[in-house]
Amino acid sequence: MINAQSGIEVNTRRVFEEAGKAGIGRLIVISKMDADNIDFPSLIESIRKMWGNHCILLNVPLGHGHSLKGVASTLRVPTTRMAPSRIRR
């Protein structure tokens, strides 16, 4: 868990690295995106600088601070396929 206001903290870095050494999968969650003065691009840059470009975004914020409206998935690609509930089996 990384607080968007304070960035990567010592214990976060230590636990993340120890989990990697142990072969445990890791996931980063960024909290407090609704706070003021958040620099999301800089935070992502610091995460990638710390742990490499294999850190990928699964969700991206839609705005920040008081204008945060939610998140968008990077895994859902718009498509013209029919909804599963309308497919006859």
pLDDT digits (tens, 9 = 90+) for 44-83: 999 999 999 889 999 999 988 888 888 888 887 665 554 5
Task: State yes or no: pLDDT of 37 exceeds 70.
Answer: yes
Instruction: For residue 20, give the 3-state DSSP assignment.
Output: helix
Q: What pTM was computed for the model?
A: 0.76
| Alpha-carbon span 7 to 85, nearest angstrom | 42
